[in-house]
Amino acid sequence: MEKLNGRGGGGGALPPQDVDRKQGVCERRGQRRDTATSHDGDVDSAEENGSSHKPSDAKPPPPPPQQRQPKRNKGPHRDCPLQLDAQPSPLQPNAVAQDPEKRRRQQQKNLLEENRGAEVSSPKGPLGKAKHVQKAPGNSPGDKNLKNRGGRGFKKQVFEAYMSHEVVSQGLKRGELLQGPLRINPKNYNDAFIPSPDGMRDIFLDGIVSRNRALNGDVVVVQLLPREQWKVRPGGPREQGWGAQRTGPGGPREQALGGPRAVLEEQHSDGDDLPARVAALGLGATGTGGGQLQVPGESSALWIYDHQAVARWWIYGLWLVVYIVERKHSRAVTGFLKLLPDLPFAKFSPVDHRVPRINVPLADCPPDFSSRPADYANILFICRITSWAEDSSFAEGCLAKTLGQAGEIEPETEGILMEYDVDFSEFPAVVLDCLPTDLPWSVPPAELGRRKDLREECIFTIDPATARDLDDALSCKQLADGNFEVGVHIADVSYFVEEGNALDAIASQRATSVYMVQKVVPMLPRLLCEELCSLNPLTERLTFSVVWTLSPQGKILSEWFGRSVIRSCVKLSYDHAQSMIDGPDRLFSPGELPSMDPRHPLDEVHQAVLRLHALAQQLRQQRFDGGALRLDQLKLSFTLDKDSMMPQGCYVYQYRDSNKLVEEFMLLANMAVAHQIYRSFPQETKMVDELQEFCDQMGVAVDLSSAGALHASLHRSLGDDPYAGARKEVLTKMCSKPMQMALYFCTGALKDEALFQHYALNVPRYTHFTSPIRRYPDLVVHRLLAASLGTPPCVCVCAVQKQASHCNDRKTASKRVQELSSELFFGVFVRECGPLESEAMVSGVLDESFDVLVLSYGVQKRIYCKSMVGLESFQHHRVGKRGEITLVWAPEGPGGAVISVFSLVEVQLRADEAALKYSALLKRPLDKEA
């Protein structure tokens, strides 16, 4: 299996599997994974993970090419509720078009108020017609405030009916519709995007109605609405949304293009003739005149720069979701219940604002909820969306579970797991029955005859001190000719997990182990993870080995792949290995290191670690000389109370030479296996350009032309003051934004071999081989490697690609759960130990807020100007891509201050009233002096 990273960056391909392989049941959302070492000792390097892959061509502004409008079949509309267990019955929208003048008046009438909880009215359909649907009278959820004035018993339709599957298929073939995964801005739920097919810019979906009941992560099909419904906004798009002054599509900051002159003139003085010039411009033409019109062909968006009026206008097309291809979102969400007087349902408010409010029948609520609602004000629930009708701004759902008090670690953790569809249930008996019952297990004599016997070799593990699932080991010995024999030995999980049985099915469904601060949800039963497959010291274990002959300069002279049997002589932690690296001549006392196998004395292990370290340095230098990239980012770690598991302290994880040693040989093994398998189974610039322009304006010399050039740029000096490292961290985060995560793919499903390349590693092929205990793709790769060394099996490309896609989804969900767990524990730490004070560096500037990187803890927070105590006024202005905010404090304050990227400030982290939420407050200069 190889991993593909977006457009042309590969992370590794999942080569085809046996056609007879039984498919597992598929499962599922996304701040950043550790760029050093995973909890179980394997390495997910920054080069491998999302922030370090090839720049995506995604960009917040929307304009892909304009699409022709598909022909529609005429027909009435029907309700199309969204079901969890089946696709809705997609229906064709009304094909009746309105008169242009009538349509324009209707557009003004139907401008939406999208604030949560407000009445949501329908936009015009793809052909400009607003529709209504008749409903029988009654107090069904969502009825309130939605009745049409035109007649009793009628409700205004909020959402467009979905197209039929046939219409969608033909529209996609003709290029009239576009398909992609939906991303909703977590900081502004009105803004959503899907990637453009050409990779140049993201397609912008403006508002809840445009998303048409799709949720974050869903794969959707979108259609460009007629030009009369396009909108005009002054100023243009902003990073992370459209700017804080935006009050909704109907507000004064944006208008429809139905009558450009009339709409725009309302917002300008008599002396400003820009609206007239805007009205006179054709949307599909190019021109200069008083301003500069940038329209690449027939674009769905255009910029108008007017130097006389010193104004900038942005005209953008409106896109609408017309079909949901796959519901990737779990439809489960954590939140709180609120009683609605005199109504047969309660209101469920999700913690995630990207999910709509949900009406829950009172019969589904706790028995005493109606009489004692205050008792449940701080109780966290899990609710599942069961339907979402076209004529309701709210979804309908049912309570899945009462989690407990908000703000407590276990209920919050369980809520995160359920929301991201992580299966944390106990393994059923049918799965456990697949494991050996004769314990303690020993290697069968017959298996020894089929494998290379490495039990006498000096082989050892290097893992985190707390790791219990040890799936990789290393060996290194010097040969008579001065070269080195180096081995990477990986637990042979495929011996115990037979393809197609119940154990394999649940492993393929879970796809990955999920690591949180205080616990792990394993992919495989613990007996397998911690005993049968774990490479525990002084125990014979089955492995898959890659053995190289390397020159002292790190050149590969030969390599061997095969199944083997090993006996690890010692379990080293990263601290142990680091102490050996730091003290090459040090004599360790017996109590400083774990007990060793008598056949391999301490000095032999010490010398092996030093040789591996020297070779790893050579390999690492060669990779970066060859154009590899690494974007290291700060990772927060915690010390926990052994009994309560509450955080006692936190620190930024240090990535040291011992981590790099293990990482280098895991990368080498993964690359070697990818090439071996492929021999047996052959078969975005715009956002980066803007980052380059921004860096140039900031006076920062960054070369974004390639991965290697970027790596060299980031390791040049950003100054010799104490904050040079902080500037590098801020710049690293900025460079990570255009990057895409590596993706698993099946080589047989991707014909263009140029797309196999892993961008950050700068290698043509890459896969995952080294962690089969915790990653299902590695288990698949083990099977394929075994097949490549024998008789290649028949393969089913579609089945393997489907499994690869599922593993991508679960990897993303696992990563996000890990991030949320860290955020949860840091929120507890701030509540228990705060307020905390720290220096911070500004990492981004928006219209009415700015982001800071808190240097002591490595977390990033947003500070809102309107919430600053003592601030008299603030003003945002932009010079090219560089934004600045001028803060003016009250008269008794210290005066003004200019906030821009790399500005150094002091902040205080303080717990909010909401459970486990905290805010960053800017300290005024007078506060700092005090």
Annotated binding site: 463, 472
Q: What share of the chain is helix, strand, coil (3-state, %, to 5)?
A: 25, 25, 45
- With a CB cutoff of 8 Å and minimum separation 6, the contacts of 519 are 413
CB count, 10 Å around CB of 101? 10
Joined tokens for residue 40: 């179980």
**Rounded Cα distance, 395 and 102, in Å:** 31
DSSP letter assigned to residue 267:
T
**Token digits for 231?**
């909108």
Longest dimension (CA), the chain: 95
Q: Which residues contact 794 (CB under 8 A, 6 or more apart)?
A: 18, 19, 20
Give the up-direction half-sphere exposure of residue 247: CA atoms within 13 A in the CB hemisphere. Answer: 6
Strands 647-652 and 311-316 turn out to be unpaired
Q: 3-class SS at 124?
A: coil
Per the CB < 8 A criterion, the answer to whether 781 and 767 are in contact is yes
- With CA atoms as reference, report the closest residue to 369 among 397, 331, 400, 402: 402
Tokens read off for 809? 């989804």
Q: Which helix (H) or strand (E) covers residue 572, if one does? A: strand 571-573
Kind of pairing between the strands at 836-845 and 904-911: antiparallel
CA distances from 677 to 42, 170, 224, 264, 767 (A): 21, 37, 43, 61, 9
Torsion of CA 193, 194, 197, 203, to 10 degrees: -30
Q: How far apart are CA 804 and CA 794, in angstroms?
A: 18
Both structure tokens of 374? 């205050």
Could you tell me which residues are beta bridge partners of residue 853?
841, 860
Q: Taking a C-beta distance cutoff of 8 angstroms, is the pair 43, 34 a contact?
A: no
Which tokens hold the place of 112? 């939406």
* Alpha carbon distance 285, 278 (integer Å): 12
Q: Which residues are annotated as a binding site for Mg(2+)?
A: 463, 472
| Cis peptide preceding 772, ω within 30 of 0 | no
Whether the Cβ atoms of residue 816 and residue 823 lie closer than 8 Å to each other: no
- 347 — phi, psi (to 5°)? -100, 125
Structure tokens at 907: 């902040």
DSSP states along 437-464: -SSS----HHHHHTSEEETTS-EEEEE-
Q: Where would I find the H helices in 626-756?
A: 657-680, 686-697, 707-714, 724-736
Instruction: State how far the Cα of 825 lies from the Cα of 834, in Å rounded to an integer.
Output: 13
As to burial, measured by CB atoms within 10 angstroms (0-12 exposed, 13-18 middle, 19+ buried), residue 115 is: exposed
- One-character DSSP codes across 458-501: -EEEEE-TT-----EEEEEEE-TTS-EEEEEEEE-GGGTS-TTS
Residue written as token pair 């010039």: 277
Length, in residues, of the chain: 930
Which residues are CB-neighbours of 815 under 8 A, at least 6 positions away? 30, 33, 49, 50
